[in-house]
């Protein structure tokens, strides 16, 4: 992501400003911090490391590996962004007719496990702390020329767009990461030539079919899949020297989670990456859920706990 768009208080509901990025999201934030930042950082990193060390291997699914060094940088360096990835303990599953698809645990998951790191498609729009940003404020920024790469379009094209066909299309998590690795454009490239006698060429990523993602279809995809938050994390933002703002964007892999009034995962935005951690024990075969409450996108769904 090269641009973060900012909506000022006076511009909510109208056109937003664009700021070029230099490094990470922290490049547009202030750096005023109290004297206890290092101590808080050490406590947080040590706590996360202890969770990783105590993770047993008795049939539980394997979370994303977090080294102590990466964890320290994640919670203290404004320009550090984790690479997009998904835990081997998570898989995409097509449910019975009427429910669509969702993410489930391949093995048992325990609280604190890092399950997903998702990169936004195109741009993230941010506004003042406490603002409830809506998909309609994000759509123009994703429609702008050059806002979406081929990989962005490929990932978005895999999402639900309001039509039954889009919810029943057979896809896998691998499709999303194949697109990020260049597979969306693989069909236009020649396969690599073998080197040496009897050596097979390394296969290029399988191309992900890119359906047209523009106009009304793009608008529908954003309306059904956008995610926003009104406040930055109270612990992470100060550690990374970032101001608390509100945000909205589309993180395609995270969009695969279904709603629950009692979710078992917790999303966290660090830089422009959405990190998903387990909030409770999830047994093998259990569905990973999140909450749509408080999001503008929930207006498209009937949620029993919202009525």
CA angle 11/17/19 to nearest 5° reads 145
Say whether pLDDT at 202 is over 60.
no
User: Which domains are seen in the chain, by residue range?
Assistant: 3-28+37-188+205-300 (2.170.270.10)
pLDDT of residue 169: 87
Q: How confident is the model at residue 212 (pLDDT cuts 50, 70, 90)?
A: confident
Say whether pLDDT at 99 is over 50.
yes
- Give pLDDT tens digits for 126-155: 999 888 899 999 999 999 999 999 999 999
pLDDT of residue 193: 47
Q: What percent of the chain has pLDDT over 90?
A: 45
- Give pLDDT tens digits for 214-271: 999 999 999 999 999 888 877 888 888 888 889 999 999 999 999 999 999 999 999 8
What predicted TM-score, i.e. pTM, was given to this entire model? Answer: 0.75
| CA dihedral of 160, 161, 164, 169, whole degrees rounded to 10 | -50
pLDDT of residue 203: 55
């Amino acid at each position: 992501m090269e641009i973060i768009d900012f909506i000022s208080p006076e511009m909510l509901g109208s056109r937003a400003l664009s700021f070029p990025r230099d490094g990470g999201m922290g490049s547009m934030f202030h750096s005023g911090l109290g004297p206890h930042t290092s101590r808080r950082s050490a406590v947080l990193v040590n706590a996360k490391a202890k969770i990783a060390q105590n993770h047993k291997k008795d049939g539980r699914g394997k979370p994303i590996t977090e080294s102590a060094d990466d964890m320290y940088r994640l919670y203290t360096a404004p320009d550090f962004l984790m690479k997009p990835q998904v835990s081997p303990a998570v898989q995409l599953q097509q449910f019975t007719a009427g429910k669509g698809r969702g993410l489930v645990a391949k093995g048992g998951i325990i609280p604190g496990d890092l399950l997903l790191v998702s990169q936004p498609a195109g741009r993230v729009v941010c506004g003042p702390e406490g603002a409830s940003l809506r998909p309609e404020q994000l759509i123009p920024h994703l429609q702008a020329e050059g806002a979406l790469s081929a990989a962005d379009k490929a990932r978005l094209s895999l999402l639900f767009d309001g039509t039954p066909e889009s919810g029943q299309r057979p896809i896998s998590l691998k499709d999303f990461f194949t697109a990020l690795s260049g597979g969306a454009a693989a069909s236009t490239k020649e396969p690599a030539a073998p080197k040496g006698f009897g050596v097979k060429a390394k296969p290029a990523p399988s191309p992900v079919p890119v359906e047209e993602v523009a106009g009304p279809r793009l608008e529908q995809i954003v309306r059904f899949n956008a995610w926003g938050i009104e406040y930055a994390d109270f612990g992470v933002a100060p550690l990374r020297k970032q101001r608390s703002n509100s945000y909205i964007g589309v993180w395609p892999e995270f969009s695969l989670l279904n709603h629950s009034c009692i979710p078992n995962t917790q999303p966290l935005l660090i830089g422009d990456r959405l990190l998903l951690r387990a909030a409770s024990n999830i047994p093998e075969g259990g569905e990973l859920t999140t909450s749509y409450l408080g999001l503008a996108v929930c207006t498209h769904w009937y949620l029993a706990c919202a009525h």
